[in-house]
Amino acid sequence: MKFERLADKITQVRGIAFNPKDISEIPLPDYIPVLKANNIKERGIDFSNLIYIHRSKVKPEQFIKKGDLLLAASSGSKDIVGKNIFFENDFEGSFGAFCKLVRPNKKVNHNFLAVFFKTPIFKRHIRKLIQGALINNLKNEHIDSLQIPSLSFSTQIQIANILSKAETLIEQRKQSIVLLDEFLKSMFLEMFGDPAFNKKQWCKFQLQDLIASGDKINYGVVQPGEDGNKTGIEIIRVGDFDGIKINSKNLKLIDVAIEQKHKASRLSGDEVLLACVGATIGKIALTDKSHKGFNIVRAVARVRCNSGKLNRLYLCQLLLTSYYQFNLKNLARTVAQPTLNIKQIEELKIPVPPLELQNQFAAIVTKTEALKEQYKISLQELENLYGSLSQKAFKGELIFKDAEEALLLMAAEPDVEYN
């Protein structure tokens, strides 16, 4: 397979360097939007916080055209550098100096180039370039030096179509997961009403009156010791929260002697965990029987519900409502950083509907979470397939019939079995 430098197939265009006095934050006659690095998102353009400049300040080549790729070329964040969006149509606007435009010439199909700039191959190339750099800049030579296979236009179009299908399936899976979360929010409000108003007039109790008999709400281990223990007790951090589940793949271990001093926060496997320190205040996760005997860090509080009064799945969704999320953050006291103390958590007023209604909602949550888990598995499989297809495509090894069959198979909705 013959490979060619990307420099032979593109033109790079620098963004506008402007004086702040030339910029307007609102649209004006003959002013056009200027996209910045922060406007470039994985799913397209973020139109919030746009700025505008008079079109006379923009060179003809700096107007964004159909087939162009806009890259974030300079940022204080390594995660932003290299992000790009493809324009399927002319865009009546331009871009700032921290971005660059990649404009394909007649030697390459613009859709083929667009999918190349989304592949793991491109992303690895960018990560390698900026690793350890003090200033995260993409230079022209970084893009020009990229190698892509020399393929016929018809083959380029086939590759673009296949990888675009894979991208579409990935976005559909992501959207399905989001919609399931929205469904649960909607069902909660339909069954229990908005807790901000409590129009159904459910009786309210302090959370401390609704916990398991003989238990109490508490924090976890204050000083879990050094990371990297190879033996010890598993400890759950806020970073291990994955939605309302716990991701147990990368749990840290703490010394047994340290954990012994914090038996009160040892997990039974039926808790609601609440993040109570810093920017993550209000994040919620549920433990299960696989976590029995584990412990938690100081930034997490554990709550064991009295199952005769309060279903923990109901409590979980209640605390995730916008009303409780706002109040949890508002309650947090700032010392070195915002912190919810145990007393504040204990005194949270909780509306308590009939247990039968709570249990009905919990059954809906269980089924919905099972479906969401299947979508997440499907999403991971699709992302793996996309990585494999793109790698083969840009090595000239892709068999189109096999790729189409694999995508057709992955397009099927996940099967879900409810226990």
| pLDDT tens figures, 342-374 | 999 999 999 999 999 999 999 999 999 999 999
- Answer whether residue 404 shows pLDDT above 70: yes
C-beta of residue 94 within 8 angstroms of C-beta of residue 63:
yes
- Residue 119 gets which letter from DSSP? S
Q: Which tens digits make up the pLDDT trace of 252-297?
A: 999 898 899 899 999 999 999 999 998 999 999 999 999 999 999 9
pLDDT recorded at residue 419: 43
For position 134, what pLDDT does the model report?
Answer: 53
- Rounded to the nearest integer, the mean pLDDT of the chain is 91
Q: What is the pLDDT of residue 418?
A: 43
Give the mean pLDDT of 147-156: 90
Strand partners, 149: 3
In this predicted structure, the answer to whether residue 416 has a pLDDT above a threshold of 70 is no
Q: Calculate the dihedral angle through the C-alpha atoms of 162, 168, 173, 178, rounding to the nearest 10 degrees.
A: 170
> What tokens does 296 get?
């938690």
